[in-house]
Each structure stands twice: as C-alpha cells, then as structure tokens.
A and B are shown apart, each in its own frame.
Chain A
C-alpha cells in the first residue's frame, strides 16, 4: 500500500510534536486539556494536549502518537486544524474531513476516528478541569 504524499509529509515533518510538561505537571494545569485515546495492544495510542485561554480559544496544541504512519499524520493534522479555534469550533471537526485531507484508505479510517476522539477527549478534560475551578471558586468567594 502506498502512502499519500500528505501522510508522508506529516510523518517526516510532524507538526506540533510534544507536551506541555511531564504527565504529572500537566495533570494539575487547569488551562490544559489532555486526551489520550487508544491502547498499545491495539497498536495506536494518541495523546493530544490543548492549551486553552479563559475565553475558550485553543491557543496551542501538542501531540504524541504511537501508531502507524496514518495515525501519526492524523494526529499531526488535528493539531494544525484546532490551533486558534474555539473549543466549540474544534468539536465540529469530523474524522471524514481528516480521511479526505490525507486520502486515507478504508483500512486506515480508524486512525482518523482516533484523532477525532482525541480532540473530544482533550476538550472534555479541559472542561472538567475548568468547571472544577468554577465550583471550587464558589465557597472561597462567599
């Protein structure tokens, strides 16, 4: 199976690789949402971290991926697409758009699904953390 040139480009020059700190550091950062989806025994693990402003804008995104070339390309592309978007806008991204952009063959559709899941999962995590601030803030202010 031949890879599309876009997949090869993302594989060779992945965008926004990294993390905003060690797993312990980012776990307590309230401005950061973390999505980790997949499992090593399935052959893919995607980790997406988003840095979100108080206004709900994704200011920065970083990814790491254990998986095939298409999984790497899907997560790299996802970081490009969500940067600068509000969380609500980011939630409208669909895996089919990733499939189309990267010309993924049918056997690789699950890679795009995983990328969409990682976006949802990271935003959910951020929402949970920021609502925890709001509830935590209530008793101290009263």
Chain B
C-alpha cells in the first residue's frame, strides 16, 4: 500500500528530483570552494572557475557543442528570453522604435517562455507568425517553410512539446533555416538529456535547456550559442561584469553550474538504456489504460514522442476531479478549473482537441526512479478513479444512451 504521504511521482516533465550524485558534486562549492569565479588572482577564484569550466565541458558534450558555445543562465525561461530577444535585437531590420523590424516564426503550442518574449517583440515593432499545429502536434519543416517571409529573421520551434511529449522536426527545420540564412532557436528543455543531441548535425544556432528537468538543480540552465557557420550574436539582456562572454553578466551560480554539469554527464552516460526502460513503462501505461477504459485517447503523435511523457484524455471525466481521485499520484492535468479563465490547456486546444476532452486530460511523465510497481499501481488507481467519476458523470450517461454530446445546446454560464 502506498501512503498518500509518499505519492507516486509521475510529473517529471514539471521537474525532477536532483540526483544524489549531483548534490554530492555541488556540496564542496557551498563550503571550501566558495570562491567567485571572477576572482582571477587567488586560489578560491581559480577553483570556482575550474568547477564552471568542467561543467561547461560536460554540458557541451551532451549536445555535441564546443564548450565556449555554452552560456550558463538561470534556466530555460532565461535562455529562451536571451535567445529570442537577444537575437531579434541584433538581427532587426529597422532601428528600435520603428515598425517592420523583422518577422519571427514560432508555433501556437510553444511554452509561454517562448510565446511571451515573441509577443513582447511584437509590441516593439516585430511581426510574428504562430504556426497552428496539426492534430498530431508535430511541426514539420514544410510548415515552417510555408510561414517564412523575405523579412524573417528568427525561427523558434521547441524540440519537444512539454504537455504532449511530441517531437518536432528540428534537424529539418534547422537545415531549412540555414539554407535561408535565418537564425534558428530551439527550446530543447524536454529533449536534451533524454535524446541524443548534436547541434552540428541537427543544424541548431541557439538551444535552451534547464538543469532541473534533467535531475540537476533548479535555478540553472544553459543556452548554446553557435560560434561559427554562422557566428551568432546576441544582445545581452543583463549588463554588468561581462561574465559568460558578456551575454549574461552577474556572478555565476557556481554550485548550481557544477550540479548542472554533473547532471548533463549522468544523462549522457545512461541515456540509451534509460530511454528503453522508460519507453517500455510508458507503453504499458498507455496500452493498459486504453484497453481497460473506453473512450480513452492518447493525445499527440503516436510514435514521434519522447519516451517519458504521455498525455491522455479520459472522456466524460473532468481532469481536476480525476487528479483528486488519484491523489496518490503526482501528475498534471490539461484542465484549468483552478485558473480564473476556466480555459483548458491552450496546447491541447491548438491541436483541435475538443474542449471537453482537453478538460479530461492527464499528463503523466516518468523518470529515473519510476518503477514498474509504481506504473502498475498508477494504472489501477486511474482506472478506479475514472470508473468512480463516470458513475457520477451525466455526460457518460448521455454517451451510453447514444446521444452525440456535440449536438447538445448547453446552457453555458
């Protein structure tokens, strides 16, 4: 029996537990190696700098980059902001304060940390196209090609969608951008560390990732900035001491960066075996739920997905009440019943998933310490909760009576 004090953690797409090996690597940098990496004239500074440079190597190796191309930040949100705003400012076609400064292409189901910087740029004289994803959620190079304009300066397409786990065609999109000499940024937060990455063969100019999604600490991330073919330039968002090649001033978070580097190294070492293990567990989770519970739909592309994330809609059951029914499982829902807007997930809506099924979705994301026994328990708990809620659901009754719910005129409030 799993007590509700220790729920089963199936929310690894939200954050992960810091690996004990990561914590161990970090600890000396809080105490004996506490120096400021900017102190160039004494041992404490050198030790801190060494720690950072080792981490930079480890981070670079994970993505097939040169260590000089890695800029440490506070996480993916900052990396995305620096990449998008920093590149737009440099590659703008008109001066600040004017309109027609250039066109940016992104997708409607990107993370808010991409959408909102782009929206801010739109208020500052840039244009943008938000590609509407197809039903399977996958953005292809052709879709990007159709959105390009002669004045397009930047394309930002995430590698993996955080709610669905679907994989966009990043290498092909990058190739297209390189042919057209357009800067290509990818928010790779849910990809890096889980899937093999090579910024050279994957044609990436700017790539964001985060420590806490890959069993590292929170508050640290990185931005890959290509140094040759082309040499990508960015306008800094934060000015000061000129750390991180002047792109991110501020005393480095040494312990966090050391932990980030260690986390990158650990992911690189067991990526292949871990991918196989996670995929087997997720496949079982999905196939059991679909088999046991009628009107259950896995959202997004069937195979073009990272192995650890699934997003499932259980018809006629509201997601938040379902989460209440599975309080022993820590997961997330596309239902936004708690938000003031009452709007369900914009990601699911952008795919054309009906609002009712969007309200009925759970995102389950597995990770390094997820066990077969936990997956088995989760299947049982979800089945029980869905059955309980369907007994209460007027929509399920109508479904059983053969009434098409989409044909009913609801008394909306």
User: Which residues of A does B touch, CB under 8 Å?
Assistant: 1, 3, 8, 11, 14, 17, 19, 22-24, 36-47, 64-69, 71-72, 107, 110, 113-114, 117, 121
Contacts and interface: CB of A to CB of B under 8 A. Distances in A.
B321 interface: yes
Q: Which among A19, A44, A47, A69 has the highest number of chain B CB atoms within 10 Å? A: A69
Interface string B300-334: 00000000000000001110110011000000000
B395 A40 contact: yes
17 contacts: A11-B324, A19-B397, A22-B397, A23-B397, A39-B413, A43-B344, A43-B359, A44-B318, A44-B337, A45-B395, A65-B394, A66-B393, A66-B395, A68-B320, A68-B335, A71-B318, A114-B413
Given A40-B405, A68-B324, A69-B320, A45 B392 contact: no
B356 interface: yes
A41 B392 CA distance: 18
Q: Which among A17, A19, A68 has the highest number of chain B CB atoms within 10 Å? A: A68
A80 to B, nearest CB: 15
Contacts of A121: 411
Contacts of A14: 392
Interface in B337-385: 337-340, 342, 344, 354-356, 359
B351 to A, nearest CB: 15
Contacts of B354: 40-41
A66 B394 contact: yes
B412 interface: yes
A24 B395 CA distance: 15
A64 B321 CA distance: 14
Nearest to B325: A11
Contacts of B395: 40, 45, 66
Q: Which among B336, B403, B411 has the highest number of chain A CB atoms within 10 Å? A: B411
Contacts of B391: 17
Given A17-B392, A65-B392, A72-B321, A42 B413 contact: yes
A12 B396 CA distance: 19
Given A45-B394, A107-B338, A110-B342, A66 B316 contact: yes
Interface of B: 316-318, 320-321, 324-325, 335-340, 342, 344, 354-356, 359, 391-398, 401, 403, 405, 410-413
A113 B412 CA distance: 12
Given A68-B320, A68-B337, A107-B338, A39 B401 contact: no
8 nearest A-B residue pairs (beta carbon) = A41-B355, A39-B410, A40-B356, A64-B394, A47-B394, A68-B320, A69-B324, A43-B359
Q: In terms of DSSP, what is the predominant structure of the interface of chain A?
A: mixed
B15 to A, nearest CB: 18
A23 B398 contact: yes
Contacts of A110: 342, 413
Contacts of A69: 320-321, 324
A127 B376 CA distance: 51
Contacts of B394: 19, 36, 45-47, 64-66
A64 B392 contact: yes
Contact of A37 (B324, B335, B403, B411): B411
Contacts of B324: 3, 8, 11, 68-69
Given A14-B392, A72-B392, A36 B356 contact: no
Contacts of B340: 107
Given A39-B413, A113-B413, 19 more contacts: A17-B392, A19-B397, A23-B401, A23-B403, A36-B411, A37-B413, A38-B410, A38-B413, A39-B411, A43-B336, A44-B318, A65-B394, A66-B316, A67-B321, A72-B392, A107-B338, A107-B339, A107-B340, A117-B413
A71 B338 CA distance: 12
Q: Which among A22, A40, A71, A117 has the highest number of chain B CB atoms within 10 Å? A: A40
A8 B392 CA distance: 15
Contacts of B405: 40
Nearest to A11: B324
Contacts of A71: 318, 321
Given A64-B394, A65-B392, A113-B413, A41 B321 contact: no
A71 B396 CA distance: 17
